[in-house]
Structure formats: C-alpha cells, structure tokens
Amino acid sequence: MALGIKQFINVAGIVRDLKSFNFSVYGQWFGYINIVLCMALGIANLFHVSAVIVFGIISIVQSLVILFIEVPFLLRICPLSDNFIAFIKRFETNAKRTLFYVVMAVIQWCSLAVMVTSLIVVAIGLTISAASYAVAHFRHQQFQNTSIIKNPADDDFPHEAVVREML
C-alpha cells in the first residue's frame, strides 16, 4: 500500500479555517503563498542585469523569514541563533504581523522604481497578507494557527503506514 500525501492533509481543518472568517487565518494562508512567491520570483529576478538583482536577493531572504514566522515549529528543529529566534517571536500578534508585512511589501513596491518585473506579484501578495492581518487586528480577532497537517495524535493518522514506509 503506497503512502500518499493526502493521508496527512487535514482537509476538515482547512475547510473549517476557510469558513471561520478569521482574517488572521487568511493572512497566514497568504503568508504560505508568499513563501513560494518570494522564493520563486526572487530566483527568477536574479537573472536581470540591473539593480533589480538586489530586490531578488531581498525577496529570497524574505521568503526564509516568512517561513520561520508562519511555521513556528521550524524554530524548534532548526539550529538558529538566539537573536534570530527572539526576532521571529516578536511577530506573534496580528498588529505586529501587519507591520512586518507592510514593511516587506514596501520594500518590494520600491523595486518597481528600478524596473517593473514579476516582483510586483510578490509586492501584491505581501500587501494582501498585511491587509488580512490588519483586518483581523481591527476586528479584534484572536490570532490562531491553521492546521494543514494532521496531528499524529488523531485517530485517522496513518500510524502503521508511517512505520512501514520507514522500514
């Protein structure tokens, strides 16, 4: 029996999150999308022969910082400096994440002054995340993490299959 990724995805949790109208969850989902956009489009913009290369490098760095902000579990398993961990842990509220995403979006919007490239998509994505967190802040919604991956303690988590695949 092959082990599929669908067995580990928490579809019910994703649907529940999308129906919750909690904008911090929407901001987090756009954050996940921004990780991919920043990395892919940052790499794609490294091949320009202009100052846009700097904004491509900044975009790649932004993707890594967003990854650690939106997936806090990685802070425990990756060897990181205490200063970096303290910096990342500052962004645990909707207001602070709004400010973080606004600063990141402004940096990418500034790239348009050099040359209009695909980094505009990164700027738009970061702006959407900032707007989502801002709406959550002004609506006084509690910050909550989304649950994409099933919890290993859940009954429907494929324990036997995991052990079989590892052997």
What would the pLDDT profile of 37-87 be if each residue is shown by its tens digit? 999 999 999 998 888 999 999 999 999 999 999 888 888 888 889 999 999
What's the token pair of residue 106?
Answer: 């402004």
Largest Cα separation within the chain, whole Å, is 55
Q: Enter the DSSP assignment of 50.
A: S
Would you say residue 100 has pLDDT above 90? yes
How many residues can be counted in the chain? 167
Please give the pLDDT value at position 118. 92
Range 132-144 average pLDDT = 87
Prediction pTM value: 0.80
Q: Say if CB 63 and CB 71 are below 8 A apart.
A: no
Distance CA 165, CA 115 (A): 49
Domain ranges of the chain: 9-150
One-letter identity of residue 61: V
Rounded (10°) CA dihedral 135, 139, 141, 145: -10
CA nearest neighbour of 150 among 19, 3, 1, 13:
13
pLDDT in tens, 18-43: 777 788 888 888 999 999 999 999 99
Please give the pLDDT value at position 1. 47
Which helix H or strand E contains 98, and what residues bound it? helix 94-114
